Amino acid sequence: MSGIEPLLRATDLSKSFGTLPVVRHVGLEIHPGEVLGLAGQSGAGKSALAMLLAGFYVPTEGAVVYDGQSLRWPFRARELGIEVVHQQPDLAERLDISSNVFLGNEIGWSLVGRWLKVPNRRRMDVETARILSQLGMPFDSLREILANLSSEQRQVIAIARAMTHPAKLIILDDPTLLLSFRYQQRLLSLVQGWQRQGRAVLFASDNLDHLLAVTDRIVVLRHGRRVAEYRTDEADREEIVSAMVGPTDRQQLTPIMWALDSYYRAREQAERLYQRQALLERDLGAQDLSLIHI
């Protein structure tokens, strides 16, 4: 995207935990309306880099300019128009669904002279129901507390929270790990919708198929370093995998490619089988209820 000023520019970002370096001198840019993928094996530094850009980690060195201003850590991402969806949902387990979706962004009335806000539960419920319906996961009751829900349901609620107000940048830190095939596809469609709206998306994922499906560029990390960058429409899958795993000959790379492809196909087939089984159980349950009423 030459000629367009980046929304975010990171320069020489590094992060160490004690003596262990996890991000090493990484630079990158993200433009408005662009989906930038972060690829790499587990432990390559994708999540650490995402958390630096989201303000959760303080860098050991380096700088970030976002929307024309230099960031100082720690910062509140949401106040800057940055939304974050983590690998594991960062939610309040003892609060109900609507309260979690609007946690920190409540709709309501501010008390005069105070920071305290009185939530408008009715409006929050209406908006929560609308967003969850868009994501394809309605609930019988929005008063259900999060501790009673599955990991997938909690992750969908975390995604819903990122949709409560328009963000300039959305950081996805491998959120598909807890999602079934159906909701993975919903999320990919959502990413494409955000792109059409002109929002920037940073999408860190272990799933190369997902990155190839929705990104404009892919940056590859290995051992905390940026080792390659590709335009997605020109990317060669084998070349990306080679950059992810490091120096290796073609004979060694072939079984790695086969293993990755087999894993993705097996997981997709398992998820589709699960969805068919769930639909069958639902239909059988409906038949049983109809027999009871006869």
Query: Percentage of the chain surpassing pLDDT 90?
Result: 68
What are the tens digits of pLDDT across the range 102-145?
Answer: 988 888 766 655 555 677 889 999 999 999 999 999 899 999 99
pLDDT at 111: 60
Average pLDDT over residues 9-25: 96
Instruction: Check residue 74 and give its pLDDT.
Output: 86
Q: Model confidence over 67-82: pLDDT tens digits?
A: 999 999 989 899 999 9
Mean pLDDT (the chain) is 86
Q: What average pLDDT score do residues 91-99 get?
A: 95
Each residue of 231-262: pLDDT tens digit?
A: 999 998 889 998 998 876 455 555 555 455 55
- The model's pTM is 0.83
* pLDDT range class, residue 267, cuts 50, 70, 90: low
- DSSP letter string over the chain? -TTSPPSEEEEEEEEEETTEEEEEEEEEEE-TT-EEEEE--TTSSHHHHHHHHTTSS--SEEEEEETTEE--SS--TGGGTEEEE-SS----TTSBHHHHHTTTS--EEEPTTSS-EEE-HHHHHHHHHHHHHHTT---S-TT-BGGGS-HHHHHHHHHHHTTSS--SEEEEESGGGGS-HHHHHHHHHHHHHHHHTT-EEEEE-S-HHHHHHH-SEEEEEETTEEEEEEEGGG--HHHHHHHHH-S--HHHHHHHHHHHHHHHHHHHHHHHHHHHHHHHHHHHHHHHHHHHH-
